[in-house]
Chain A
Amino acid sequence: MSEPRKETKLVPVPATNYVPERDVDKPPILEARNLGIDFGGLTALEGFNLAISPTEIVGLIGPNGAGKTTVFNLLSKVYQPTRGTILLNGNDTMGMSTVQVNRAGVARTFQNIRLFSNLSVEDNVKLGLHNHIKYGMFSGVLRLPNYWKQEKQANERVRELLSIFNMEHMVHDRAGALPYGAQRRLEIIRALATAPKLLLLDEPAAGMNPSETGELMENIVKVRDTFGVAVMLIEHDMNLVMGICEGICVLNFGKIIAKGTPSEIQNNPVVIEAYLGRQKEDG
């Protein structure tokens, strides 16, 4: 632990879980309790408490290196937490693997796009549908009727999913050959194909121009409304975060420094300090 961090006066805001009004009576889809992880001697995340309601859009913001992607890696079980618990739909995810937690309803996209770039757009989405296409090795190899039926259903589902972002015409293109924005949209579609209850978007607007970002904002809200999923997103674009998030969680040095609605966050002196540095007392 480095010395300067002890001296910092950033006092964590009491962790009152923010719950939007329309979801007050529903139990949270995801609850992180006192979550923490160490890498060797370095504490990357500490005392992370957060509850996300079933159809909430939550923003996770903070300066570079604050531990935002670490939170995503913990929630999707790429890392196993050192401390604390993650409850998914009320069930402890302790000991679950990445695959199991995905089946339980957590899907994500990546900061640097990780599509299967040599495969077609269709196949990428179908890989998201992998656990929803039900046929065995033998029906697959021998092309039994069940294979054709399941593949037909999958093809229809792929087109349905692509249509939400108007990408049906790209269905046979190679994923790696798509324009950047389309690749980002495809990653969201692929994640949605796994039928998640919680969608984790890691910097969805990275590298986008303002008009693309505007479109993305509409799309995220549309996805939430159409699929009824909760969305948690990491983003540096404050227009996007303040524009569509109902709850915001601010991380700095691996700790939550503030939680609240966009307007509360915008006026929170601790947040301003974390982002802009402290103002001199005497002005």
Chain B
Amino acid sequence: MSFLSHLISGISLGSIYAIIALGYTMVYGIAKMLNFAHGDVIMVGAYACFFIASRYELPVVLGVLVAMLVCTLLGVIIERLAYKPLRSASSLAVLITAIGMSYFLQNAAQLMWTSNPKVFRSVVGDKSLKLFGGQLSISAIAIVTVATCIVIMLGLTWFTGRTKMGKAMRACSEDKGAAQLMGINVNATISMTFAIGSALAAIAGVLLCSMYPTLMPTTGSMPGIKAFTAAVFGGIGSIPGAMLGGILLGIIEIFGKAYVSTQLSDAIVFVVLIVILLVKPAGLLGKQVQEKV
């Protein structure tokens, strides 16, 4: 029974990684850049929700919506101010800018909200579902997290596959020049990608802090790195890959903690990543680029 309970917490933690990883993978797919500030956008979203729902005790739904709005704006502004001017710069310059942006957000949060940990009140309360006569208990947040993750996954798949904006995103990811010559506004499409990724980051932030209720300016950084790992693990650029990578990473982490060692759990995660990348360099669902000779 403990196995099942570990599996469930692994899947729910993995679902959060997956939602964050979607932001990384979508931005990478379209703008071909690694937005390392993504993890810190999560933290900002969690703070936004914290102030609305925990501090001022307004409805939780409002807290989530405000968090999404704040993060969407933040994501678009970051892209406009920090990344857009570097559109034609080398990828290394953009990468360094992204790392700088990450530290900027962390320090700005520290300045505004201090580094004292805040206690985040779970958005779904601490109810849980008892099964098998109380032997297995599944927390409400785990259920909500997994359900949210599934809804987001289905929604995004549908969005990218069936709507004109989604198709424009895929077109930009393949060939920006050709997309532009078809009358597709590439800058607007990139902004939209950042907006969607950041809105998802807000949701991930709220879910993460509902599960682990300590909120600090550095809260987003480790999950951000893990989610980036998940995106690479699943095949960066691929939406189902980010999903699969995230969930597997969550499961591996929780099993590592439960059966091997709490201290070594992160090391185990990265060892598995290295092994997978040695076998499949493009990630689990990544496309192997074929060169036509």
**Of A49-57, A98-106, A226-234, which binds chain B?**
A98-106
A127: interface (CB < 8 Å): yes
> Could you list 5 examples of A-B contacts with CB < 8 Å?
A78-B181, A99-B180, A130-B164, A130-B167, A193-B182
Contact of B163 among A76, A98, A147 (CB under 8 A): A147
Interface string of B165-195 (1 = CB under 8 A from A): 1111011001101111111111000001000
Chain B, 174-220, CB within 8 A of any chain A CB = 174-175, 177-186, 192
A252: interface (CB < 8 Å): no
* Docked complex Cα distance between A130 and B174 (Å): 16
A18: interface (CB < 8 Å): no
A185: interface (CB < 8 Å): no
Distance between A123 CB and nearest chain B CB, rounded to angstroms: 5
Distance between A107 CB and nearest chain B CB, rounded to angstroms: 7
Evaluate contact between B178 and A98: CB separation under 8 angstroms.
Answer: no
**A126-B164, A135-B164 known; A78 vs B177 contact (CB < 8 Å):** yes
Identity of the chain A residue whose Cβ is nearest the Cβ of B195 in the assembled complex: A137
Evaluate contact between B183 and A116: CB separation under 8 angstroms.
Answer: no
Identity of the chain B residue whose Cβ is nearest the Cβ of A133 in the assembled complex: B164
Total interface residues on B, CB under 8 Å, equals 24
A194: interface (CB < 8 Å): yes
B113: interface (CB < 8 Å): no
* Docked complex Cα distance between A74 and B169 (Å): 26
**A78-B177, A114-B175 known; A119 vs B167 contact (CB < 8 Å):** yes
Evaluate contact between A102 and B163: CB separation under 8 angstroms.
Answer: no
B residues apposed to A, CB below 8 Å: 155, 159, 162-168, 170-171, 174-175, 177-186, 192
**A119-B167, A127-B167, A141-B155 known; A99 vs B178 contact (CB < 8 Å):** no
Evaluate contact between B181 and A127: CB separation under 8 angstroms.
Answer: no
Chain A, 99-125, CB within 8 A of any chain B CB = 99, 102-103, 107-108, 110, 114-119, 123
Residues of A within 8 A of B177 (CB): 78, 114
Evaluate contact between B170 and A116: CB separation under 8 angstroms.
Answer: yes
Contact of A190 among B168, B170, B182 (CB under 8 A): B182
Total interface residues on A, CB under 8 Å, equals 34
Contact of A126 among B167, B180, B181 (CB under 8 A): B167
* Docked complex Cα distance between A118 and B175 (Å): 11
Residues of A within 8 A of B170 (CB): 116, 118-119, 123
Residues of A within 8 A of B163 (CB): 140-141, 147
Residues of B within 8 A of A137 (CB): 165, 192
Interface string of A209-244 (1 = CB under 8 A from B): 000000000000000000000000000000000000
Evaluate contact between B174 and A116: CB separation under 8 angstroms.
Answer: yes
* Docked complex Cα distance between A71 and B14 (Å): 53
A residues apposed to B, CB below 8 Å: 76, 78, 97-99, 102-103, 107-108, 110, 114-119, 123, 126-128, 130-131, 133, 135, 137, 140-141, 147, 151, 154, 190-191, 193-194
Evaluate contact between B178 and A141: CB separation under 8 angstroms.
Answer: no
Evaluate contact between A116 and B184: CB separation under 8 angstroms.
Answer: no
Evaluate contact between B174 and A102: CB separation under 8 angstroms.
Answer: no
Evaluate contact between A119 and B159: CB separation under 8 angstroms.
Answer: no
| 11 more A-B residue pairs beyond the given contacts A99-B184, A115-B178, with a C-beta to C-beta distance below 8 A | A97-B180, A99-B180, A114-B175, A116-B174, A116-B179, A118-B170, A126-B167, A131-B183, A135-B164, A141-B159, A194-B182
Identity of the chain A residue whose Cβ is nearest the Cβ of B180 in the assembled complex: A98
* Docked complex Cα distance between A147 and B159 (Å): 12
**A116-B171, A127-B171, A133-B164 known; A102 vs B182 contact (CB < 8 Å):** yes
Evaluate contact between A119 and B174: CB separation under 8 angstroms.
Answer: yes
Contact of A128 among B159, B174, B182, B192 (CB under 8 A): B182
Residues of A within 8 A of B164 (CB): 126, 130, 133, 135, 140, 154
* Docked complex Cα distance between A115 and B166 (Å): 17
